[in-house]
Amino acid sequence: MAFDEMNGTGGEIRSPYAKAAQWLANASPDLLKTRSRQAELFFRRMGITFAVYGDTESNERLIPFDLIPRIVSGAEWNGLEVGLTQRINAINAFLKDIYGPQEILKAGIIPPELILTNQAYRPEMQGQRPPRDIWVQIAGVDLVRTGEDEFHVLEDNVRTPSGVSYMLENREMMMRLFPELFADHSVRPVETYPDTLLASLKACAPEDAGGNPTIVVLTPGPFNSAYYEHSFLADKLGAELVEGSDLFVDDNYVYMRTTQGRRRVDVIYRRVDDEFLDPLTFRSDSALGVPGLMAAYTAGNVTLANAVGTGVADDKAVYTYIPDIIRFYTGEEPILKNVPTWRCREADDLKYVLEHLDELVVKEVGGSGGYGMLIGPAATKAEIEAFRAKLTAAPEEFIAQPTLALSTAPTLSDGKLVQRHIDLRPFVLSSPNGCSIAPGGLTRVALKEGSLVVNSSQGGGTKDTWVLED
């Protein structure tokens, strides 16, 4: 039986939800339906949408928003914050090392071939140091809960983590629709995230950028699935939203074309993948990047957030070594545990996985968005056998995990309260001044009954996440 955020395992209302449960008991179904329609109308008017690649029915969708907040106590959050800080500091140290002396590989902690032949490993960054020595300025860490005091990290997102715009918009929506509920709770604010992000990015600017460095948000363009978020963040940061054609490189410095002439760019918050950043270094057919950008970057004249090559830490096979990575670089035991994971590249693990495919979740090591994975208990025999063939042909491309009983939370469905599975993506900012974490993050909801897949691309929704002051 899954742990329920509001009712625990014994059916008694947990203390963080005491006031919210009373409010829900008194709220009429008509009120909740009306507020839900108002939220949808507001999101539609604001253009808060995302695109689904390959969707033949519609180019743009609303991410379903659930009115019932997910509530976390202050004590619970404080523990998560310490664990998240430890984890991201270790990942930054890991990236600095594998693109530097590679001590962790020499020590035999991680098989060198797992890193050096990884598609996300960028040999162009070997021996390079990003400005201010920060590799992961923005991270999204996916957490799942399985018990009262049991949180696990499901995966790390340190390339171009998305979803923070929905965290901020969800909060604004709840404050508009239910001001009386906010008045009954002391909820820690998330509205300061853009200011904190701006300060963090400025602190990561090259040393010669001056006291007011120029920051831009680099987008692939309006056809990207997360374009709304790109424009939203640029607006909140007071930064220009640019495409590759808006920038150029001269004498190893990056400039932006403006009506007043060229202007030096010091920090690029990029939402463009590594291979498209610079056609002179990576894909020569890329029209999304800036020719010469890597030369300016490796000269230390511009900061890219996040750094080139961070994707190797997103790899799900590398994820299995994060506890060892934390021990190696910090000398501490991991505060946040990984989900138990089988490495299909290893013979004994592969044998076990092949024998238990109907019980496990199998994922591609480079996959994301809920694509390319098998959920054994929900799969047909034909699907299992098809996946068995893929797994046998290329076992190194997969990892497997048990089917976790993700926690549930009260969710509004067709005007009725139901329990649906959830996860949580907090956002961690890193700079030379340390780590900063918005209190809460993005709670994602598997809206289909019984589903464990929370990704928006697979039909999932979102909730506002309240961290209480207690």
Looking up residue 389, the CATH number of its domain turns out to be: 3.30.1490.270
Q: What is the pLDDT of residues 424-456, one digit of tens each?
A: 999 999 999 999 999 999 999 998 888 887 877
Domain assignment present for residue 9? The answer is: no
**In this structure, is residue 420 part of a structural domain?**
no
Range of the domain at 365: 341-403
Q: What is the band of 60 on the pLDDT scale with cuts at 50, 70, 90?
A: low
Q: What is the C-alpha to C-alpha distance for residues 24 and 411, in angstroms, rounded to an integer?
A: 11
- Is 210 among the domain residues? no
DSSP 17: G
Beta bridge partners of 402: 360
How far is the C-alpha of 177 from the C-alpha of 35, rounded, in Å?
7
Q: What tokens does 65 get?
A: 């928003």
Is residue 370 pLDDT above 80, yes or no?
no
Averaged pLDDT, 295-318: 96
Is 368 a member of any domain?
Answer: yes
397 in any annotated domain? yes
* DSSP annotation string for 243-302: -GGGEEEETTEEEEEETTEEEE--EEEE-S-GGGS-TTTS-TT-SSS-TTHHHHHHTTSS
C-alpha closest to that of 402 among 349, 342, 335: 342
Instruction: Flag whether 349 is in a domain.
Output: yes
Integer Cα distance of 86 and 81 in angstroms: 9
Higher pLDDT, 415 or 37: 37
Domain total of the chain = 1
Q: How confident is the model at residue 160 (pLDDT cuts 50, 70, 90)?
A: confident
- As a whole number of Å, the end-to-end CA separation of the chain is 28
Q: Give the pLDDT band of residue 270 (cuts 50, 70, 90).
A: very high
* Phi, psi of 447, rounded to the nearest 5 degrees: -75, -20
Residue 374 has what DSSP assignment?
E
Which pLDDT score, from 0 to 100, does residue 279 have?
A: 97
pTM for the structure as a whole: 0.93
Q: 102 lies in a domain?
A: no
Q: What does the alpha-carbon distance between residue 322 and residue 429 come to, in Å, rounded to a whole number? A: 19
Location of structure tokens 């019984």: 450
Token duo for residue 194: 């853009």
**Assigned domain for 42 exists:** no
Q: Are strands 427-431 and 138-147 parallel, antiparallel or unpaired?
A: antiparallel
